[in-house]
Structure 1
Amino acid sequence: MRKTLLAAALALPILGSAAAAEDTIKIGYIDPLSGGGASVGEVGLKTFQFLAEELNTKGGVLGKKVEIVPLDNKTNPQESLIQAQKAIDAGVRFITQGNGSSVAGALSDFVTKYNERNPGKEVLYFNYAAVDPVLTNEKCSFWHFRWDANSDIKMEALTNYMKSTPSIKKVYLINQDYSFGQSVRSQAKAMLAAKRPDIQIVGDELHPLLKISDFAPYVAKIKASGADTVVTGNWGQDIALLLKAAADAGLKVNWYTYYAGGTGGPTAIKQAGLNHQVFQVSEGLANLEHQSSRDFEKAFRAKYDFGLFYPRAVNQMRMFAAAADKAKSTDPVKVAQALEGMTFEVFDGGEGVMRKDDHQFFQPIYISSLGERSEKEPFDEEKTGWGWRLVAKIDTPQTMLPTTCKMERP
């Protein structure tokens, strides 16, 4: 009898944890939590944890609690695959990642091959920030969905704005030396040549990803080139340290960026005195006159000491819940089928659509500049007193570029 009771007592925690697991949807967050990308990885983790809490407060997803499982990939593709397998072994069937398109490519291939080998145990990959166009073109996968605009869409928006700025005469390109940075440089050159052939490219620099601690030599080259404008896709410490070096050198040019709003960027911009001279292309900004997103921003900043970097993450998590509700299931295959072609009211207002052809999400795109605020702009960045101001908006239909994806569906 004692042995029977002891066995039953030992079994209870196991049964309890299994029951708890069935009532929990785990999302594996695979991004850098150490190394050069940690500053953005930590921000992303806290953002997803906040969004999970938002869903759980409303009853979760189909009554199930959402849990974010942090997995440090050190911005390394091979380490990311180890972490993905670790997540799957722990019962995770949804993973999300955003920092590094080389990582994204590896994860997309891994998930696609895993699902082919493991029918009935499929995994979905939600991409919130890796923007190499190949991920929704020649390397597209049914198991990959992207909520950020790809780099071609962003460059199309930036160059359309730049072409109507006659003061731009000499442009310097500086980018990270991997697939995304190479895409930014090639598209910047091609699109500027087509839209403003009078603009001279006076520098075209590639540097190692998240390895440079001092950008002073690079800034010296920019100054020597006579450039009046810099175009960069740099992110993480590579944009913050680049802007810091520009501030230290007194470099006074206009900047057209993808990620100047990342950790340390606004502080460096203020130190450089670049009042509304640094532009960023994004899917949203804090100071838009849109009440529900401002309410979210206020609550988010009350909890954390930074603003919302990733409106696209909000769209991703809310659309995941909507897809599960539509499918009446959290099975990854059914969720994927529900996401295909889904239209959705996006975080900052307006309609977005997840294109079925390639699983690229399209949404309004904004160009903003950082500087002194008006009374209608309540949010500053990094306690600088400066905030983002809207300078241009591109509606969803105008962001849609064609795809070469040939989707293979299960």
Structure 2
Amino acid sequence: MLLGASSLILSAGLPAATVQAENLTIAFIDALSGPFAATGLGSGRELKHAVEKFLNGKEVAGEKLEVEFLELDGKINPKESLVQLQNAISQGAKYIFHNSGSSVGHALVGAINKHNKRNPDNRVLYLNYGAIDPALTGSKCSFWHFMIDANVDMKVSALVDEIAKDKSVKKAFIIGQDYSFGKAFSAAAKKYLADKRPDIEIVGDQLHPIGKVKDFTPYAQKILRSKADVVMTGNWGADMINLAKSVKEIGTEANIYGIYAYGPGVSAVVGESGLGKLSIVTQGHINPPNTPEWAAYTDEFLAKHPGNDMSNERTVYGVQMLGEAFVKAGSTDPLKVAFALEDLEFTTISGDKVVMRGKDHQMQMPLQVMAHAKDGLKYDFDQSGYGVITTSSIPLENNTLETSCEMQRPS
């Protein structure tokens, strides 16, 4: 095994005399070191738990799956991630899960397209639950890629709908990370503000280096000087935590609207200063957990991983969806499973109906508007007493956008 990789055989505990087992290797490629390691390690923990619950031991065409789970450190670097992709393939992985970094997402799509064309007997499928540049299900869409999260355009459209409700908002400041995702967030913010609230003046449109800024004070000062009524940000991980610290320290009357401005590290840092001022649009259910089954699943995860948090429900969507496709296809062959995933509709453990749209492989799902809160929480983050609570829900039908994808399918 190459350096930067760890693996775990998830034993199904099956009597060998009564059932045949099929070995299945799943790889997770993400940041397991560096400034975004906390995000990657947390995401991997949640993914592994979902695989244990929904795939390991699952019966497919009369055989029960025995899953090997690989964790590979891509460091949110396209080149490093491609090295780990080859590592995963060499160890027999058929399914590649990935969360952080749209630049990595683009690299994985390109490499998997080439690999599958050259190796029709050894194809792999890419299940993406966090690299949400809309181009990945638009102009750069691929038959071998499925997006399990709402893309940037879907989330920002919903975010602007929330901002548009407040007629006192006259000025907006946009800030994000300087790579494909941050640029897509900025473009979407400007587009939907122009469409839905053309009276709002954009007083700042700032990109900063990803993962390199420790002190966001200069950016916070720009926000303060702009006299913005709202700040819109797609920042995530360490960049969201550090931005939140600086905005809190310098003080601003602006309300903050984000899509990753919550969770481990962030909610605790924001603390009291975010009450009544911080809103998020995201998928899934945290407070309230929406169904007894989802609450039980979350409680089991937290008991197994004390001191950690559950914040990526889309991880569970993806694993559930894959299991449903295995059964529908009667196989774990990536080509058969890819066709089975197209237009697959199912109900998640938290009670949401979701659909994997066939024409672009973009999951269609409800979204939730959440507020930073300390009251009414079943689950907080970092044992801080702060978390998020759902204030309204946006049905799937209201999140459906057109696509520019022209899918090339294998013959």
Q: TM-score, normalised by structure 2?
A: 0.91
Match for residue 74 of structure 1? Answer: 75
Q: How much has 1:57 moved relative to structure 2?
A: 6.2
CA–CA separation in structure 2 for the residues paired with 1:399 and 1:347: 20
- Alignment check: 8 A CA contact 1:252 1:274 kept: no
Q: How does 1:277-316 map to 2 (within 5 A)?
A: 277-288=277-288, 289-304=290-305, 305-316=307-318
Q: Deviations over 1:17-55 (max 9, x none)?
A: xx9xx7321111110001121111001110111112213
- Structural mapping, 1:186-335, within 5 Å: 186-270=187-271, 273-288=273-288, 289-304=290-305, 305-335=307-337
Tell me which protein shows more helix as a share of its residues: 1
SS of corresponding position for 1:259:
coil
Q: Please give the alpha-carbon distance, in whole angstroms, between the structure 1 residues aligned to 2:190 and 2:85.
A: 36
Q: 1:98-247 maps to which residues of 2 (within 5 A)?
A: 98-247=99-248
Aligned residues of 1:155 and 1:188 also touching (Cα < 8 A): yes
Q: Which has the higher mean CA deviation after the structures are superposed, 53-62 or 305-314?
A: 53-62
For 1:43, the aligned partner's letter is G
Partner of 2:385: 385
Q: Distance in 1 between matches of 2:116 and 2:291?
A: 40
Distance 2:321 2:214 in 1: 38
Kept in 2: contact 1:311–1:347 (CA 8 A) = no
Moved more, 103-112 or 261-270: 261-270
Shift of 1:60: 6.5
Distance 2:401 2:70 in 1: 34
Tell me the amino acid that sits aligned with residue 28 of structure 1: A
1:366–1:393 contact (8 Å) kept in structure 2:
yes
Tell me which residue corresponds to 1:89.
90
Task: State the structure with more CA Rg.
Answer: 1
Could you tell me how far apart the structure 2 residues matched to 1:100 and 1:354 are? 21
1-structure distance, mates of 2:57, 2:22: 15
Partners of 1:96 and 1:337 in 2: CA distance = 18
Structure-1 residue corresponding to 2:11: none
**Residue type at the aligned position of 2:310:** L
Q: Deviations over 1:208-239 (max 9, x none)?
A: 11111111111111111111211000011000
Structure 2: tracts of 5 or more residues without a match: 1-15
* Structure 1 residues 355 and 99: alpha-carbon distance in aligned structure 2, compared to 1, 3 A threshold: same
Determine the structure 2 residue equivalent to 1:404: 404
Aligned to 2:65: 64
Once residues 65 and 345 of structure 2 are traced to their aligned partners in structure 1, the CA distance between those partners, rounded to angstroms, is 24
Counterpart CA distance in 2 for 1:379 and 1:351 is: 23
Which residue matches 1:361? 363
Following the alignment from structure 2 to structure 1, what is the Cα–Cα distance between the partners of residues 114 and 237? 30
Question: 2-side partners of 1:168 and 1:346: how far apart?
Answer: 36
CA contact (8 A) 2:186 2:205 kept: yes
CA distance in 2, matches of 1:166, 1:294: 37
Superposition CA RMSD, Å: 1.6
CA distance in 1, matches of 2:369, 2:257: 9
Alignment check: 8 A CA contact 2:160 2:192 kept: yes
User: Please, what TM-score do these two structures have when normalized by structure 1?
Assistant: 0.91
Q: Determine what percentage of the aligned residue pairs are the same residue.
A: 40
**In the alignment, which residue of structure 1 is the partner of 2:8?**
none
CA deviations 1:300-348 (Å, max 9, x no partner) are: 2222223322111101101111111111111111111111110010233
How far did 1:166 drift? 1.9
1:8 match: none
Q: Deviations over 1:231-265 (max 9, x none)?
A: 00001100011001112223342110010124311
SS state of the match for residue 109, structure 1? Answer: helix
Distance in structure 1 (CA, Å) of the matches to 2:341 and 2:270: 39
Q: How many aligned positions are there?
A: 387
Instruction: Letter of the 1:226 partner, please give it.
Output: K
Counterpart in the other structure of 1:344: 346
